[in-house]
Every structure is written in C-alpha cells, then in structure tokens.
C-alpha cells in the first residue's frame, strides 16, 4: 500500500482524519494551499489537490468544506474562511437575528490524486445554527463554526460535545464524512 499525503494547513482537519485512516499509510504535510475563488467545492478541491501533488510528488488528498445556512440562501457557501475572517461568528449570528429557520449544513469534497486520475468523495453534515456561541476549544477543532453548529438531533454544539459524542453522532444525525468514504474506498481498492 502506497503512502498517501494529506496536504493541509488546518491542524484540526489533520487530527479529525486520524480516526478514519488507522489502516492506511498516510502522513500529513503542513502547507497552506491556494484556494481559487469559486462557489464549487469540487472545483476548489481539484485545484488544491493538483497543487498538493506538485508540492509533495506523491499520491495525496485535499479537502474543501462549505457551510450553508438555509435562511441566508446558502451563505457563506464555499466562502467560509473569507466570512470568518471578515464578519466572523458574531457577524453570521447577527445576520440570523430574528430568524426562526436555523437549518444549516456542512458539505465536503475530498479530492484524491495519484498523479494520473482525480477521484472525488463527498460528505454531508446536517444541523442547526445555535443562537449564540457555545462550548470550549476541543482537540480536533477545525473551524470556529464548531461553536455554533448543532448536529441534527442534538441540542449542543460540536464544541460542547465530548470525543465520544462526536465520534458516534453519525448514528443519530445521519451525517457522512468524505474522509471516511475515501478511507473505505482506498482500503477496498488497494488490498
């Protein structure tokens, strides 16, 4: 089994990936990849994984995640980092003042590139937006949105959940991870 490199500058994403890659030969490479201005997670993941391959010269993965708030017509979509850097969590919550519909979701696109072909894996995490920031810093936190995202079927944010609750939440909220889908596919196809 060849080594796969997860190229990311986000230590929380790298930490989150560990639980899915126990049976794979994977390493992380700390590098901030350029993100094209696009509303397409697949387009962003494609650009990132091609750049990652140029940097490491080995089969690699790159992950892009968008956050979609139903009441705001999907805002901030693929522009999560830009939104957090400009208006922040408080600004997002202010946009939702007086709104009853708190439905939101994370969509993910993981791109795997072996130097010849790009394969895509998708994830989805449904939930609701809290009315205020709740919880504490946790190991594996990859975004400040953890303080306001309540997975479907839960009355607490990801930042309020312990490791066990976060690990088992997919059995309750029906979420699925692009990282997990990739790990399963890779193990099955590289025995």
**DSSP string covering 77-131, please?**
ET-HHHHHHHTHHHHHHHHTTT----EEEEEEEEEEE-SS-EEEEEEEEEEEE-S
Q: Give the position of tokens 């490791």.
A: 163
CA distance 64 to 79: 10
The structure tokens listed for 72 are: 């705001």
Phi, psi for 106 (deg, rounded to 5): -105, 130
Classify residue 71 by its DSSP letter.
G
DSSP, collapsed to helix, strand or coil, labels residue 28 as: strand
CA distance 34 to 49: 10
The structure tokens listed for 109 are: 């696109």
| Set 64, 137, 144, 173: catalytic member | 64
Residue 39 is among the residues annotated as catalytic for this protein: no
CA distance 146 to 12: 11
Q: Which residues are catalytic?
A: 64
């Amino acid at each position: 089994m060849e080594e796969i490199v997860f190229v990311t500058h986000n230590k929380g994403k790298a930490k989150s990936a560990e639980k899915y890659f126990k049976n794979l030969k994977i390493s992380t490479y700390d590098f901030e990849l350029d993100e094209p201005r696009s509303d397409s997670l697949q387009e962003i993941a494609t650009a990132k994984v091609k750049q990652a391959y140029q940097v490491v010269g080995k089969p690699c993965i790159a992950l892009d995640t968008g956050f979609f708030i139903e009441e705001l017509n999907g805002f901030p979509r693929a522009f999560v980092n830009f939104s957090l850097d400009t208006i922040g969590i408080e600004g997002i919550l202010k946009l939702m003042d007086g709104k009853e519909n708190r439905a939101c979701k994370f969509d993910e696109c993981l791109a795997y590139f072996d130097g010849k072909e790009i394969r895509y894996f998708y994830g989805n995490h449904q939930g609701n937006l809290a009315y205020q920031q709740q919880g504490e810093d946790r190991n594996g936190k990859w975004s400040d949105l953890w303080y306001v995202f309540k997975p479907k079927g839960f009355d607490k944010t990801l930042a309020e959940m312990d490791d066990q609750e976060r690990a088992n939440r997919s059995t309750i909220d029906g979420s699925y991870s692009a990282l997990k889908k990739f790990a399963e596919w890779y193990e099955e196809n590289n025995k």
